[in-house]
Structure 1
Amino acid sequence: MVTTQAQPLALLGAAGSPYTRKMLALLRYRRIPYAIHWGSHRTPPAGFPEPKVKLLPTFYFPKDDGYEAVTDSTPIIRRLEGDHAGRSVLPGDPVTRFLGDLIEDYADEWLTKAMFHFRWAHPADIENAGPMLVFWNSPVIPDEIAGRASAEISKRQIDRLYVVGSNATTAATIEQSYERAIDALDTVIAQQGYVLGTRPSAADFAIYGQLTQLAIIEPTSAAITQKHSRRVRAWLDRVEDLSGLEPETAAWTHRDQLKSMLRPLLSEIGRVYVPFLLANARATMAGLPQFETEIDGRPWAQPTFPYQAKCLGWLRESYGELSHDDRTALDDVLAGTGCERLFGEV
């Protein structure tokens, strides 16, 4: 049900959080008034409840007796679609919408591996990231305190790199996948401006969120981005604020044209993210704490991630809800990309 917003929508976020940046750009595009509280759950804004899971961003949706603290950008986007009319980021065509869902999921769950990897795997990036995370939280922290905090944050994050699958075994796979992703995105943007047409979708904002860090903040991946595509780097500065763009319904590219336009990007998803999802799902079903598989011809090892098993489940559920004709059309788009394996046996 569409509601009238009496006050700006409050949220807690951080400039170094790709999901915060994803949602801020989306709110600007959709012209939804908001009030961002910069910080973390260590110093949450007064007067708001704690979320069940302390992630950024946290949205504070008003209700009769106060606020509801909500995290997870993907369902928040769908909730906002119901609360606010116009300037939708979800295509009406079921096939196009599914493709957008898949690409959004890839950005949120695979590109973020590259984000964490590049932030903490190389000395120049570590030297940059530690202080940035401190001063993003508060620019008035004294240098001596900031130095100690930076060292503590860096150690904690480096020690946790294994959680997202970043290690000596997987480094080459992650880095080469990022290079190909930039090349694929360059191809799509050159043809139509955004992933699904001449207007932005949730998938665009998901990609944008990760690239605000990868292509701008982290020195190593930013240099890779500049080398591979200045078009993509420039695109990010535009997507940051699309409040002036006037979208038209016809601006979504027809499903029949997306097969060729999205082929490079879907092939990259099928090459790296799909085998990860399937291996992770098998490990989750077997109750294994970690798993090993092969991605892009190289060994891959990391702890099992139950949430990403849910992501595969949600994609399969959406696929199952399509009509016979829409599934047939989607199968044709995905055929030969590797993404068709999503719907076979785990």
Structure 2
Amino acid sequence: MNTDHDLRLVGVGASPYTRKLRAALRYRRLPFRFVVAGSKEAAALPDRPLPLVPYLVVPDENGQLSRAVSDTTPILSELDTVYPDRPLRPRDPALRFLDLLIEDYGDEWLSKCMFHYRWSRSLDTERASAYLPYARMTQMPRSQAEEAAQAFAERQISRIGVVGSNDTTAPVIEASWRRFLEIFEKHIQTSPYFLGNRPGAGDMACYGQMTMLVITDPTPAEIAFKVSPRAYAWTEKCEDLSGLDIAESDWIDLDALPETLSALFSEIGRVHVPFLIANAAAIEQGSSTVHCEIDGQLWTQDPFVYQAKCLRWLRQEFDILPTNDKARVAKCLQGTGCEAIFE
């Protein structure tokens, strides 16, 4: 079998977004090779467009692996277009938008939870720092790894202001992680995935962050085992869903939205949407700080330019929906707080 033209996923297993994309490729049954970032195999591939992992090397119009793309959300959209079998994004436009909303919450809010616990708690910081240097090179000498661990931890801790973790926001983040687990625990008892009997991009986004929050990092994992032990089993299961048989009818019916899914949208509207709106406003006004109220508590952090783009993309996706699908989305999100995105 000639696999020369297989996709190349370049990343590290310790990256939530790498885990998201790798699980998506497995579920999609797409031919790919996983290449460790920083390896000689990665050096032989086209350079990444941004200094981030993961990135995907895909064929050009001549079938040659000459194009590297980054950012998992547009990557998943492109893959659905190029490889139409077993798509992650629902074909129903309204359902597709809701999947995008869940994906953004997983990528951009649960990442706050992950970053907060990992880099503000000494136990979690020590655990992550101990193994992360080996993620790219397991043969690294111990002394070199310890130096790299200290430098990496210092760099990550210096970034927590941008992500949103500080003494003021900590109670909001920690309460939101517990509520997510409570909602997840109830929802997964009635539906194996967020939008029915097959996963969407939203599942992959949450899964990616949960590989750290539920499995590797001690503090959030301990909370998860107390609140939702099945979250661990679900996260392990989503690692490889290539054997899952699916049908178009496996998506939920939006006219019969489960209460547990409505609860998830209410959680998104409770924490993520207020931040997206306040963050975008701060950037538009040239403010050096985001000040807002989330869940009845003060939230303050450095502006996050990328997440302003996320809000803009969500609004653009809603704007291009047909009128009847806009109404269907609005009905599903009514009273959740998510409708503020469109106001």
TM over 0.5: yes
The answer for the alignment partner of 1:93 in structure 2 is 92
- Say which is worse superposed, 325-334 or 205-214, in terms of deviation: 325-334
- Following TM superposition, by how much is the alpha carbon of 1:313 offset from its aligned partner in structure 2, in angstroms? 1.2
The answer for the alignment partner of 1:31 in structure 2 is 29
TM-score, normalisation: structure 2:
0.95
* Counterpart residue identity of residue 209, structure 2: Q
Contact in 1 for aligned 2:46/2:66 (Cα 8 Å) = yes
Equivalent of residue 60 in structure 1, options 39, 43, 57: 57
The answer for the alignment partner of 1:129 in structure 2 is 128
Cα distance in 1 for partners of 2:323, 2:81 equals 27
Cα distance in 2 for partners of 1:7, 1:148 equals 38
Q: Deviations over 1:21-71 (max 9, x none)?
A: 00111111111111111134x978222232232111011112247511111
Contact in 2 for aligned 1:277/1:309 (Cα 8 Å) = yes
- 4+ runs deviating over 4 angstroms: none
User: Identity, % of aligned pairs?
Assistant: 44
- Following TM superposition, by how much is the alpha carbon of 1:88 offset from its aligned partner in structure 2, in angstroms? 1.1
Contact in 1 for aligned 2:183/2:260 (Cα 8 Å) = no
Cα distance in 1 for partners of 2:330, 2:42 equals 47
Q: Secondary structure at the match of 1:52?
A: coil
Q: Deviations over 1:261-319 (max 9, x none)?
A: 41111111000001000101101211223221111111111111122111111111111
Contact in 2 for aligned 1:196/1:258 (Cα 8 Å) = no
Contact in 1 for aligned 2:5/2:59 (Cα 8 Å) = no
- Are 1:299 and 2:298 matched, yes or no? yes
- Distance change (3 Å), C-alpha of 1:54 and 1:44: farther
* Counterpart residue identity of residue 186, structure 2: T
Cα distance in 1 for partners of 2:216, 2:7 equals 27
Q: Secondary structure at the match of 1:68?
A: strand
Q: Structure 1: give runs of 5+ residues left out of the alignment.
A: none
Cα distance in 2 for partners of 1:112, 1:296 equals 18
Q: Deviations over 1:159-180 (max 9, x none)?
A: 2111101111111111110111
Taking only aligned residues, the RMSD between alpha carbons, in angstroms, comes to 1.7
* Counterpart residue identity of residue 28, structure 1: R
Q: Secondary structure at the match of 2:129?
A: helix
* Counterpart residue identity of residue 79, structure 2: L
- Following TM superposition, by how much is the alpha carbon of 1:5 offset from its aligned partner in structure 2, in angstroms? 8.1
- Say which is worse superposed, 104-113 or 251-260, in terms of deviation: 251-260
Contact in 1 for aligned 2:292/2:300 (Cα 8 Å) = yes
The answer for the alignment partner of 1:185 in structure 2 is 184
- Following TM superposition, by how much is the alpha carbon of 1:134 offset from its aligned partner in structure 2, in angstroms? 0.8
The answer for the alignment partner of 1:227 in structure 2 is 226
* Counterpart residue identity of residue 144, structure 1: S
Cα distance in 1 for partners of 2:50, 2:288 equals 21
Where do residues 118-157 of structure 1 align in structure 2 (5 Å cutoff)? 118-157=117-156
The answer for the alignment partner of 1:46 in structure 2 is 43
- Are 1:196 and 2:191 matched, yes or no? no
TM-score, normalisation: structure 1:
0.94
Q: Structure 2: give runs of 5+ residues left out of the alignment.
A: none
Cα distance in 2 for partners of 1:43, 1:293 equals 46
The answer for the alignment partner of 2:157 in structure 1 is 158
Q: Secondary structure at the match of 2:43?
A: coil
